[in-house]
């Protein structure tokens, strides 16, 4: 049932995946549903709804990612990092969260799904000092662009981009951005069957001259 629904949603979003990737995404939803009962990882309870609000909502960002190494900050139960890792096997995703139960879920999901391109990190973002910086910093949970750029400014490499997954585009939030950062793109995302707007806001650090 879930596979049929996923296939239908992917077709609506013009996303083409292998049978294995589809099976992995369905398995991820099943794991989320199972763990959610004990760990309360997401407020979305219905697996069909998870396909729209968690899986498709994550996948539509994929075409806009530039580079090979990405960190998903405040990933929660691995969103958008796990779905993106499943459909981008050649890219590496680091999933950071400060809550142990979420990282436990992600570790289990990595094992169950056979993913080799995901690294879970249990840490607060301000305490995490990577040996190598990232091409992209992803987040769909941060309160504001200002918080995201302030707390994560040590994570992207010199060409790295912040990818903020947002609902409505908030002009006021953009005005609050520190002068050290500039918005390079605002992309309106279309998520099949999702009520409400979705935007991807791409932000870059302005080089100090």
User: 209: part of which helix (H) or strand (E)?
Assistant: none
**125 annotated binding-site participant:** yes
How many Å apart are CA 35 and CA 32, to the nearest integer? 5
Strand partners, 72: 95, 138
Q: Which of 56, 51, 104 is nearest to 78 (CA)?
A: 104
Is 68 annotated as ligand-binding?
no
CB hemisphere CA count around 106 (13 angstroms): 31
Joined tokens for residue 56: 């498709």
The answer to whether 69 is annotated as binding is: no
Does 140 belong to an annotated binding site? yes
Q: Is 74 annotated as a binding residue?
A: yes
Between the alpha carbon of residue 160 and those of residues 54, 93, 163, 203, 207, the distances in Å are 25, 14, 10, 9, 11
List the end-to-end C-alpha distance of the chain, in Å, as a whole number.
56
Q: Which residues are annotated as a binding site?
A: 74, 79, 125-126, 140
Q: Which residues are annotated as a binding site for S-adenosyl-L-methionine?
A: 74, 79, 125-126, 140
């Amino acid at each position: 049932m879930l596979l049929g629904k996923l296939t239908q949603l992917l077709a609506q979003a013009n996303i083409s995946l292998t049978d294995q990737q589809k099976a992995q995404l369905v398995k991820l939803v099943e794991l989320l549903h199972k763990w959610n009962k004990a760990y309360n990882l997401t407020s979305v309870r219905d697996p069909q709804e998870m396909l729209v609000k968690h899986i498709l909502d994550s996948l539509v960002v994929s075409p806009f990612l530039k580079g090979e190494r990405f960190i998903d900050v405040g990933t929660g139960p691995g969103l958008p990092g796990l779905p993106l890792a499943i459909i981008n096997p050649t890219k590496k995703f680091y999933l950071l969260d400060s809550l142990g139960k979420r990282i436990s879920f992600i570790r289990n999901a990595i094992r169950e799904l056979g993913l080799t391109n995901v690294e879970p990190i249990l840490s607060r973002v301000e305490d995490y000092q990577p040996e190598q910086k990232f091409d992209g910093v992803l987040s769909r949970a941060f309160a504001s662009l200002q918080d995201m750029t302030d707390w994560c400014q040590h994570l992207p490499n010199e060409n790295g981009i912040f990818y903020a997954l947002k609902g409505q585009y908030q002009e006021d939030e953009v005005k609050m951005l520190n002068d050290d950062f500039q918005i390079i793109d605002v992309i309106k995302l279309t998520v099949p069957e999702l009520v409400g707007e979705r935007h991807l806001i791409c932000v870059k650090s302005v080089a100090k001259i």
